[in-house]
Structure 1
Amino acid sequence: MTPLEQSRHLATAIPGPRSQQLIDRKAAAVSRGVGTTMPVYAARAQGGIVEDVDGNRLIDLGSGIAVTTIGNAAPRVVEAVGAQTAQFTHTCFMVTPYEGYVAVAEALNRLTPGDGEKRSALFNSGSEAVENAIKIARSYTHKSAVVSFDHAYHGRTNLTMALTAKVMPYKHGFGPFAPEIYRAPLSYPFRDAEFGKELATDGALAARRAIDVIDKQVGADNLAAVIIEPIQGEGGFIVPAEGFLPTLLEWCRANDVVFIADEVQTGFARTGRMFACEHEGIEPDLIVTAKGIADGMPLSAVTGRVEIMDSPHVSGLGGTYGGNPVACAAALATIETIESENMVDRAAAIERLMKDRLGRLQAEDDRIGDVRGRGAMIAVELVEPGTTEPDAALAKALAAGAHAAGVIVLTCGTYGNVLRFLPPLAISDELLVEGLDVLALLLADL
């Protein structure tokens, strides 16, 4: 494998001529419902760089939406995938099972928070794993209602659209949605500050606000599960105030409600811990993982307490491709890379670098209302100068400018005003600093 030079380089304007040809072909062949963020087509990617078909090298601050956490085409993963495809690509674990699936389940049982006995089941996507977590919780509790939170994102299938808060582009025109889904207020410190400092800083108080809504609108006797992202992803990289998650978990345990942590975006070293739940020392009943689990191969999982995971009847869980052997090989190589190369510590170092640089930008520019996140999952919330009024237009303009300058960034947030950064942990400090320098110049120009 020829190494890809780790530097930003613009050989053409973006998009270049070959990308433009592919843009035209996509328009003629692919449903318009499938959108794209960048007007380029990838040819190669390694480390912190994506190279397009025109030879442009782009700084990757997106990791394919938190998927290539250890860097694209990571050596151990490339080797493991090649070796497995030479043996077999599929048999269906439910027909003739194989060791790789069992080994991934063993690794997840070992790595996820909690010292008790655990079990895992493997699937294909984050949405699919979320759906199965709900199935498992309902089977265990014999109750049907589920609570998710304001600003939540849990997927694009029917049930996960119901759990997701944002209408556009995820839900508009696609209803009716699965029933027995309810919503509670999240701890959102930047916006809760409008209602007083105590609510913004006291997570237990914010949790009691949510619990009051749950008690009144659902009732614990009807509630199978509470599902929450420990740090919200699409909702805007919102980190709840300290104490919010433990208070919710305590209430769930006291009321026979399954606490599900959706760590699809936050898992596998992304936040400076192997899982974001560990920042507050909580042990979810069930934990949902995907994205960074297999460095780009489609794989997801539900892991949790043995008595909950074993509650569905035999053959009640599964799927033709769930725990595909090639994806399992990639996952084992990904976990080995994270552990052997101390990538949890690397994520923490990235947080320090990014928050220092973005914090200095915030001090100079009152359009940056908030800098937040953990590890290599950092965001800036953009507002009208001197206010908390969301500025989605500025976020859009900054993202477009960064793309034209060869830096991959993503937007998110309920109000469309958040720039999010998800660099691969393999990225160099130099590339990170250069990407943030581009952002600073664009802010000044705008």
Structure 2
Amino acid sequence: MSNAELNELKQKYVAAGAASPATAFADRAENSEIWDADGNRFIDFAGGIGVLNVGHRHPKVVAAVKAQLDKVMHTCQTVMPYEGYVKVAEKLSHLVPVRGHAKVMLANSGAEALENAVKIARAATGRSNVVCFDGGYHGRTFYTMAMNGKVAPYQTDFGPMPGTVFRAPYPVPYHGVSEDEAIRGLKMTLKTDANPKDTAAIVLEPVLGEGGFYPASKSFLEKIREICDEHGMLMIIDEVQSGFGRTGKMFAIEHSGVEPDIMTMAKSMADGMPISAIVGTDKVMDASGPNSLGGTYTGSPTACAAALAVMEVFEEENILEKSQALGEKLAARFGEWQNKFDCIDHVRNMGAMAAFELVSNKTDRTPNPELAAALCKKAREEGLILLSCGMYGNTIRFLMPVTIEDSVLNEGLDIIESCLESLV
């Protein structure tokens, strides 16, 4: 079917809140490129929103999924378990830097991982409250909607959110929130709203994802760890977007050396197959009773096969080194653009988790979300898939596969530069 025919079906049958505004439909993909239903080629700088760090259809992952399909597609691991689930758990328990011996629960999505992390924290502490941060994004289920540090579009139409979720400022010095001010705000939240003796956990992203790709400093994360320890609260780190090699280490928290009690992960864990994980200290993870965690499809055999293959690819193809090298290439080009264009400011990266601000005034750092939207639209017209994000909608973020070929990377960056020249 053509793009036009598929768009007719979309408008007729897909719920408006779930329908993509894009009019091109993916037909096939390879590493960092996608071809639509009409045969048009796109360079992918979005990676399925950070899901494809090892590229579209990595051959090793495709082979692992096909092999699994010839054996078992589904049994529900709570009814009859299978090797893939326990092997993924074993691998993650050695990879994830939580305190002490780690145990693992598998789920289907990032939101589901965060929901279960909170359930586990409540069971382990006997407390209800959760403290999250401005700009944080944790999912679209009801409790994770309440945890999100941004109202629109995630909460707008859905009525009252669940209670016992409290907010603190996230340190973004560029936008006037220093680390000291963020810590002071967190302590005030614990003083005036979320009594520590009733608070199960502090939940945060080590690098804000949807909130704008702002990394938390080592010292800030250390202070969060100290505050959690002081009050007997758990530290939950959300690595759904920053994990699996995006920042040049397997997980962004590793840059700080801080060990949380629980970590969540999902995107890029299985190269597009739906899977997520909650990994935590064994006593914490074992706190709830028998059959209290799980779901029909959690940790499906095919997704586990894909996840195991992804972890092999990381070892065999030096993905972490490639992520660092990609980040350096992006930083160099961003630096050139910052000097060339008055609208580009605050270029930054942690490995290949890279971004810059579009502003209308560098002196006042005035966000320009209209230019960000125009750039993404024009780039799409030129064959490049590009995403914006951020509290103000003016951040351009880069989530292309870490495995992107240099020639394709440079072609995509040239498209951005050409689009900027025509827009400003």
Return the TM-score normalized by structure 2. 0.97
Show the counterpart of 2:256.
280
Show the counterpart of 1:432.
409
Show the counterpart of 2:136.
152
Show the counterpart of 2:232.
256
Give the deviation of 1:208 after TM superposition.
Answer: 3.9
**1:345-397 superposed Cα distances (whole Å, 9 cap, x missing partner):** 10000100001101110122221121123122211111113331111100000
One-letter code of the match for 1:97? P
User: Which one of the candidate residues 116, 119, 142 is aligned to 2:100?
Assistant: 116
> What CA distance in whole angstroms lies between the structure 1 residues aligned with 2:241 and 2:41?
25
Confirm or deny that 1:207 pairs with 2:191: no
Q: Identify if the C-alpha distance between structure 1 residues 268 and 91 changes in structure 2 by more than 3 Å, giving closer, same or farther.
A: same
One-letter code of the match for 1:380? F
Show the counterpart of 1:55.
39
Pairing of 1:31-46 with structure 2 (within 5 A): 31-36=15-20, 38-46=22-30
Give the deviation of 1:38 after TM superposition.
Answer: 3.2
Confirm or deny that 1:318 pairs with 2:298: no
> What CA distance in whole angstroms lies between the structure 1 residues aligned with 2:36 and 2:19?
18
> What CA distance in whole angstroms lies between the structure 1 residues aligned with 2:339 and 2:382?
24
User: Which one of the candidate residues 30, 50, 61 is aligned to 1:66?
Assistant: 50
Show the counterpart of 1:338.
314
Show the counterpart of 1:394.
371
One-letter code of the match for 2:409? L
Show the counterpart of 2:383.
406
Give the deviation of 1:211 after TM superposition.
Answer: 2.6
**1:78-124 superposed Cα distances (whole Å, 9 cap, x missing partner):** 11100111111100000011010000001110111146211000010
Q: Give the match's secondary structure for 1:20.
A: helix
Confirm or deny that 1:28 pairs with 2:12: yes
Give the deviation of 1:436 after TM superposition.
Answer: 1.3
Aligned identity (percent) is 44
One-letter code of the match for 1:176? P
Q: Identify if the C-alpha distance between structure 1 residues 276 and 76 changes in structure 2 by more than 3 Å, giving closer, same or farther.
A: same
Give the deviation of 1:335 after TM superposition.
Answer: 0.7
Runs ≥4 residues deviating over 4 A: none
Aligned residues: 422
Pairing of 1:287-366 with structure 2 (within 5 A): 287-366=263-342
User: Which one of the candidate residues 60, 70, 79 is aligned to 1:95?
Assistant: 79
Q: Give the match's secondary structure for 1:312.
A: coil
Q: Identify if the C-alpha distance between structure 1 residues 342 and 37 changes in structure 2 by more than 3 Å, giving closer, same or farther.
A: farther
Confirm or deny that 1:415 pairs with 2:392: yes
One-letter code of the match for 2:414? D
Q: Which moved more, 1:106-115 or 1:348-357?
A: 106-115
Structure 1 runs not aligned, ≥5 long: 1-16
Q: Give the match's secondary structure for 1:381.
A: strand
Given that 1:204 and 1:243 are in contact with CA atoms closer than 8 Å, whether structure 2 keeps it comes out as no
**1:126-165 superposed Cα distances (whole Å, 9 cap, x missing partner):** 1011000000000000010001100111000000000012
Q: Which moved more, 1:345-354 or 1:105-114?
A: 105-114
Q: Give the match's secondary structure for 2:366.
A: coil
Show the counterpart of 2:114.
130
Give the deviation of 1:204 after TM superposition.
Answer: 5.5
One-letter code of the match for 1:428? E
Give the deviation of 1:214 after TM superposition.
Answer: 2.5
> What CA distance in whole angstroms lies between the structure 1 residues aligned with 2:191 and 2:404?
46
Show the counterpart of 1:77.
61
Given that 1:205 and 1:244 are in contact with CA atoms closer than 8 Å, whether structure 2 keeps it comes out as no
Q: Which moved more, 1:380-389 or 1:160-169?
A: 380-389
User: Which one of the candidate residues 173, 178, 184 is aligned to 2:162?
Assistant: 178
One-letter code of the match for 2:420? L
> What CA distance in whole angstroms lies between the structure 1 residues aligned with 2:67 and 2:350?
35
One-letter code of the match for 1:147? V
> What CA distance in whole angstroms lies between the structure 2 residues aligned with 1:257 and 1:422?
33
One-letter code of the match for 2:345? G
Given that 2:359 and 2:367 are in contact with CA atoms closer than 8 Å, whether structure 1 keeps it comes out as yes
> What CA distance in whole angstroms lies between the structure 2 residues aligned with 1:275 and 1:245?
14
Given that 2:171 and 2:181 are in contact with CA atoms closer than 8 Å, whether structure 1 keeps it comes out as no
> What CA distance in whole angstroms lies between the structure 2 residues aligned with 1:326 and 1:208?
46
Q: Give the match's secondary structure for 1:311.
A: coil
> What CA distance in whole angstroms lies between the structure 2 residues aligned with 1:272 and 1:403?
27
One-letter code of the match for 2:203? I
Show the counterpart of 2:192.
216
One-letter code of the match for 1:190? Y
> What CA distance in whole angstroms lies between the structure 2 residues aligned with 1:206 and 1:317?
34
> What CA distance in whole angstroms lies between the structure 2 residues aligned with 1:205 and 1:390?
22
User: Which one of the candidate residues 89, 95, 106 is aligned to 2:90?
Assistant: 106
Confirm or deny that 1:167 pairs with 2:143: no
> What CA distance in whole angstroms lies between the structure 2 residues aligned with 1:383 and 1:75?
41
> What CA distance in whole angstroms lies between the structure 2 residues aligned with 1:162 and 1:257?
19
Give the deviation of 1:445 after TM superposition.
Answer: 1.0
Give the deviation of 1:32 after TM superposition.
Answer: 0.9
> What CA distance in whole angstroms lies between the structure 1 residues aligned with 2:170 and 2:98?
24
Q: Identify if the C-alpha distance between structure 1 residues 215 and 339 changes in structure 2 by more than 3 Å, giving closer, same or farther.
A: farther
Given that 1:45 and 1:73 are in contact with CA atoms closer than 8 Å, whether structure 2 keeps it comes out as yes
> What CA distance in whole angstroms lies between the structure 2 residues aligned with 1:324 and 1:444?
47
